[in-house]
Structure 1
Amino acid sequence: MASRSWFEVPPSAARLTGSLRDIGYDFPTAIADIVDNSVSAGAKRVDVLIEFDGLASRVFIVDDGAGMKPGALNEALRFGSRRDYRRGDLGRYGLGLKTASLSQCRSVTVATRASAASRVHARQLDLDLIEDWDQWVVADPARDEVLDRCHAWLAESAGTVVVWRNLDRVLPEKRPEGGWARRRLESLAAKTAEHLGAVFHRHLEGTTGHQLVITVNGEKVQAWNPFAPQEQHRQDLPALRFEVQIGDLSGHVTLRRYVLPSREQFSALAEFERLSGPLNWNRQQGLYVYRADRLVQWGGWAGIRGIDEHTKLARASVDFDTDLDNAFNIDVAKMRVTLPPSLRQLVEPAVNELCVLANGAYRKTPRKAGNERLAGLAMPREEQMVANAAGTAGLALRAAAMVAGEYAALTRIIDQLRLTDPESARLLGLHR
């Protein structure tokens, strides 16, 4: 075979770095991606400082992890860093530190110290410099007050400090020194704390075997566990384990299912409101997907079924490890995954069983008089008893079909009943 000529055509650094800024991060998810690196480095504490100072506003992410030697620091700032990720590492593509940072700012500085016996090293990735030179370069940053603070934080032990400056994607273009800009940063700090409390709740709770403390502007981040483990009336269904194999790729996925207590059964009204989550009860129902104990995606049923008021108490965790990344099509920002079609088929009966139980728990919840009728009149006692009995029969029918492995057949029967006798379907609670 005749040899072919080939030509090296390196991409324009200026253009490509500009494009990579729009990968899809918002401020909290960008911070979370930096915290991923801290967790992988074995950090026990991560402090996030979001400081308003007009155009000089900045963000610090400080950890007490393993730190890096100079060569590793340069490599960490390479787009598509050349490193092997171990099983369980939260990194994936070698892009997170760079793309997450530059999605929010034009200059990111990393100061790090590998051990108490070594010195502090710092490098800076600056978009203005890259655009001027159109080359993939990092710089040795000039010593200033910000870098002095980094040295002070790393004075006695190993760790890493990431600094975002020139926050062009965070501060408003007009009047970045004004009160609105200050309030925006304060709001972002609150949203970031909320996001980190959800994404890293297992690490914050110490259930991973690695206790982590995160603070945002000096306030300790509280874990937000979507499954309300402290609630006495939570229903736990048996955990299920599935094997997923796609080509040469194989691994295990664990499904855990929960029916949360109704409002009246929660230990406190404030706790019920807290567990409603940032999306509120209806949209917080569904699957919570964890990659190596880090929450990646939550809310909704991944196409298995739709969101329903009657199943809002149903939540389930889906756990996979990094060896199944390709099967789940995890994105660069680690915010979106896709359930493999083979897994979706396996979990569908278990999800439907969960929703049947959640539906039953919802319907047993006491209702205020006046909700049953549009006119505001309470349903007569006899009529209410008939309605309750019919609803219980409908739930029993669904559960029996689930146990018998005939849920798909029952679904077809229900669809036909809705067409031919919608009133009976309504009475049996099968109209949705």
Structure 2
Amino acid sequence: MAERTWYDVSPSAARLTGSLRDIGYDFTTAVADIVDNSVAAGATRVEILIEHDGADSRVFITDDGSGMSAQGLLEALRFGTRRSYGRGELGRYGLGLKTASLSQCRVLTVVSRNSRNAVRVSARSLDLDLIEEWDQWVIVDPTNTEPSAKRARQWLSEGTGTVVIWEVLDRVLPEKKPEGGWARRRLDTLATRAAEHLGMVFHRFIEGVEGRPQLVITVNGQKVAAWDPFARQEPATQELPLQRFEVESAGIVGQVVLRRFVLPARDKFSEPAEFERLSGPLNWNRQQGLYVYRANRLVQWGGWAGIRGIDEHTKLARASVEFDTDLDTTFNINVAKMRVTLPAQLKNLIEPAVNELCMMADDAYRKTSRTPASPVPAELAAPPEVRAATHAAVSAGLALRMAAMQADQWQAWERIEAIIREQSPDVAELLGLNA
């Protein structure tokens, strides 16, 4: 075989780093990506400090994890780190620390300590202005007199951990009047949103995951509360039997776990405030659907991934789809770790279980809608025997749907439903088939 002539064509550092700033992060998802690294380092506490100081405003993300050596820190700041990731680690592409940080700031500094016995603290910085000026992949050692790095070193004087510092927040604050009231209010708003987002995507770690210590996250000194989308603390929440599926891709066979929940209707919640809190950032209708977890970290939520459409009558239905990092390729997870694609094979496997969940949620919703919000005069109320017959009819309709699904005759049942709705609308209404 003839030898080929080859050429080493390194990419322009200035152009490529500029392009990577627009990979798809917003402030909250960028902070969450940094917290991923803290979780991977075994941290039990992550403290996020968002400080307004005009053009010198900054963000600190501090953890008490295992930390990094000087060489490990250099490798961590490499675009596309050469280190490999084990099963269950939240990292994947070796880009998150850099792309997440630089999507929000122009100067990224990381200060770390990995020895409890020796106070050896390492610090390195990525400065976009310097990279653009030299057009080289350069990392610098910040001087010990730089205020932010100096503060980080002091915080690490008591033990191991890492401090990530964002400075020159050009994607966060306005170029004009960064010292103004609008800029201060914006940082306050971002702090609130970050706390809500972290409480959602890391809720399992905050509540406690088997095999690792419970995680405490604070934002500007306030402890982040876990947001469990399935309201498992509510007595009226219904949980359907857990299901497991095997998915094969590229010679890898992995397991996917499906957990299904019917959340209580408004009048069944323990407190009205809890009903509002559980509505979530997208509110009840759009918050229904599948919640996809990768190694216990929530990466995508809401909607039914094309299996069925959003429906007011099924807004109480939520289900978790859980997989480990060995199936990353199968789920086509993106660099920001906030979007996945459910494989067609899995959609076909879980469709009957999803339909069963939605039927039960539909029934729970209709029972609530049939319950008067206020007392009805006796002369207008239906007799008890009529109410009992109506409930029995709706239960019969639900039982017929479930039987068709269990008999693997769902498509035939859908045709039967359509005929009943067309030819006998009163019967369809009585059986609760007008979903």
Instruction: Give the TM-score, by structure 1 length.
Output: 0.94
Aligned to 1:174: 176
Aligned to 2:52: 52
Superposition deviation, residue 370 in structure 1? 9.1
Aligned to 2:135: 134
Q: Give the alignment of 1:271-282 within 5 angstroms.
A: 271-282=274-285
Structure 2: tracts of 5 or more residues without a match: none
Report if aligned partners of 1:208, 1:293 keep a CA contact under 8 Å in 2: no
Superposition deviation, residue 342 in structure 1? 0.5
Q: Distance in 1 between matches of 2:255 and 2:21?
A: 34
Superposition deviation, residue 399 in structure 1? 1.6
2:217 pairs with one of 200, 214, 219: 214
Superposition deviation, residue 8 in structure 1? 1.4
Deviates more, 1:362-371 or 1:338-347: 362-371
Aligned to 2:12: 12
Q: Distance in 2 between matches of 1:427 and 1:135?
A: 72
Aligned to 1:81: 81
Q: Distance in 2 between matches of 1:201 and 1:410?
A: 39
Letter of the 1:326 partner, please give it: T
Superposition deviation, residue 121 in structure 1? 0.6
Aligned to 1:374: none
Letter of the 1:145 partner, please give it: P
Q: Residues 150 and 301 (structure 1 numbering): CA distance in 2 closer, same or farther, change over 3 Å?
A: same
SS of aligned partner of 2:47 = strand
Superposition deviation, residue 44 in structure 1? 0.6
Instruction: Give the TM-score, by structure 2 length.
Output: 0.94
Superposition deviation, residue 392 in structure 1? 3.2
Q: Distance in 2 between matches of 1:307 and 1:240?
A: 23
Q: Distance in 2 between matches of 1:149 and 1:179?
A: 26
- The answer to whether residue 307 in structure 2 is matched with residue 320 in structure 1 is no
Alignment RMSD: 1.9
SS of aligned partner of 2:399 = helix
SS of aligned partner of 2:205 = helix
Superposition deviation, residue 407 in structure 1? 1.7
Aligned to 2:226: 223
SS of aligned partner of 1:49 = strand
Letter of the 1:228 partner, please give it: A
2:263 pairs with one of 260, 263, 287: 260
Work out the number of aligned pairs and report it. Answer: 426
Aligned to 2:412: 409
Q: Distance in 2 between matches of 1:91 and 1:370?
A: 49
Which aligned runs of 4 or more in structure 1 are off by greater than 6 angstroms? Answer: 382-386
1:196-254 superposed Cα distances (whole Å, 9 cap, x missing partner): 00111111011333211000000000000111111111111110010100131211000
- The answer to whether residue 163 in structure 2 is matched with residue 161 in structure 1 is yes
SS of aligned partner of 2:417 = helix
1:83-142 superposed Cα distances (whole Å, 9 cap, x missing partner): 010110000100000000001011100000111214111000011011001111111113
1:32-87 superposed Cα distances (whole Å, 9 cap, x missing partner): 00000000000010000000011110000000000001111000000000001011
Superposition deviation, residue 404 in structure 1? 2.0
Aligned to 2:110: 110
Superposition deviation, residue 379 in structure 1? 8.2
Superposition deviation, residue 386 in structure 1? 6.7
SS of aligned partner of 1:365 = helix
Aligned to 1:394: 397
Superposition deviation, residue 424 in structure 1? 4.6
Superposition deviation, residue 366 in structure 1? 4.8
SS of aligned partner of 2:394 = helix
Q: Residues 193 and 234 (structure 1 numbering): CA distance in 2 closer, same or farther, change over 3 Å?
A: same
Aligned to 1:375: none
1:11-48 superposed Cα distances (whole Å, 9 cap, x missing partner): 11111111101111110110000000000000010000
SS of aligned partner of 1:53 = coil
